[in-house]
Amino acid sequence: MGLQTVAANNNQPNIVFILADDMGIGDAGCYGQKKIKTPNIDALAKSGVQFMQHYSGSTVSAPSRCALMTGKHMGHAAIRGNGASVAKDEEADGDMSLPVEEVTVAEVLKEKGYATACVGKWGLGGAKSNGSPVSQGFDYFFGYLSQGAAHHYYPEYLFENETKYPLNGQYSHYVIMQKGLEFIDKNAAKPFFAYFAVTPPHADLDIPDLGQYNNTFPEKPHINNNPSKGYKTQLQPKAAYAAMVSEVDNNVGQIIALLKKKGIYENTIIIFSSDNGVHSVGGNDPEFFDSNGPFRGYKRDLYEGGIRTPFIVSWKDKITTPGFSYHVSTFWDFLPTVCDIVGADVPAGTDGISYLPELLNNRKAQKKHDYIYYEFFEQGGKQSILRADGWKLIRLQVSNPKKMSEELYNIQSDPAEWVNVIEQYPDIAASLRKEMDTQRTENPYFKFTK
């Protein structure tokens, strides 16, 4: 049990993790958004710690969620991409299953007596597979098991645990939220972990009511003449995206209101984040909203805009000094932080560092990352490594040695990564190149060379 453990056996804090899908760091008002209203997220930030340099697990969905659940970065994670060269679970619609030997946050908390639930998008294994959420520590699941199905908001069915749940024309996100709120309501008398892996604002850009954004923005309609493929036609894509972000904000408000109604708000840790940078498909225009804030890149990039995400932690009982944090933190820090909070041993092989001291304003005790490492297997293959002093090396076209190139930035001096200085600082590039090779183990399902 770590020195920073704060949970008592009879007063363990509830944990609510709200994960938006493809929402940019610049989409929340507290991170600078001007056109989309996010009052509940902004209020959450004022009540807790708003992290200014937090990194997602990956630049796409499945590996990011794998890092969040298992505490391993992309050099060690079991799932390092949205696809892999293995046979997939039929029900998972092409997703790879999380191996049975992986230890998840839910399994750690279940061992400590927590009720555990995931609602929304899972993406780490299909029904009756080793990677199914009910096989990975969750008492209850409701939502999309597969990522492919989660691109659409009016599917024929979702899954409740491992059974198909017909939607009968209902908007999936509304039902998902209802089920998540019901879980909190039913388990309010005991410690619980509620993981709201909601699907907005991921494309399709699709929501029943555009609300305050209807006919507000200059629009370029997104037209899909082949409905069997791609993202749906949306005549007001900007309004739809804004409404979906605001709906996520509304969900934050719903959760907080329920926690207060049940009298458990003060003893609940509420975390808000996004799984990667903003998307630019289905008619979305991230430049219009400045969704990546001051950073370069979007989803699928290893520039800061693809991997730096909003991250807010509120905990009324313990966070006595709300404010901003410049501690460098990541998705793979979540598991060791949870272990620190509840007094559990950190599973072997994890890469994360607990940020509990940062939350408790005990910065002298806060350990720091030496490096933040990523690898990505789409678009020719990419790698990046960020050193604690701000130097960052990016490799492109890793799977094509003849085309492979490298870029060097210092994000402390150049956070937008506009100036590639690799020719001016060859010694720094060489040092990062050498360290990059030590950060990864080979994974038979995720290889750069063909």
pLDDT in tens, 274-314: 999 999 999 999 999 999 999 999 999 999 999 999 999 99
pLDDT digits (tens, 9 = 90+) for 223-235: 999 988 899 999 9
The domain ranges of the chain are 14-369, 372-438
pLDDT band at 10 (very low <50, low <70, confident <90, very high): low
- Number of Cβ atoms within 10 Å of the Cβ of 326: 9
> What percent of the chain is modeled with pLDDT above 90?
92
Q: Which of 240, 170, 154 is nearest to 201 (CA)?
A: 240
- Number of Cβ atoms within 10 Å of the Cβ of 210: 17
pLDDT digits (tens, 9 = 90+) for 136-163: 999 999 999 999 899 999 999 999 999 9
Q: Which helix (H) or strand (E) holds 42?
A: helix 39-47
What is the C-alpha to C-alpha distance for residues 340 and 356, in angstroms, rounded to an integer?
7
| 383 vs 87 pLDDT, higher one | 383
DSSP codes, 157-221: EEEETTEEEE-TT--HHHHHHHHHHHHHHHTTTS-EEEEEE--TTSSS---S--GGGTTTS----
**Beta strands 115-121 and 140-144, pairing class:** parallel
Say whether pLDDT at 109 is over 90. Answer: yes
Q: Which of 151, 74, 107 is nearest to 448 (CA)?
A: 74
What is 14-369's CATH number? Answer: 3.40.720.10
| pLDDT (0 to 100) of residue 2 | 34
Asked whether the beta carbons of 214 and 236 are under 8 A apart, the reply is yes
Is domain 372-438 classified as CATH 3.30.420.40?
no
What is the C-alpha to C-alpha distance for residues 108 and 112, in angstroms, rounded to an integer?
7
Q: Which of 138, 133, 260, 136 is nearest to 192 (CA)?
A: 138
| pLDDT (0 to 100) of residue 93 | 55
Q: Which of 322, 298, 252 is nearest to 56 (CA)?
A: 298
3-state class (DSSP) for residue 103: coil
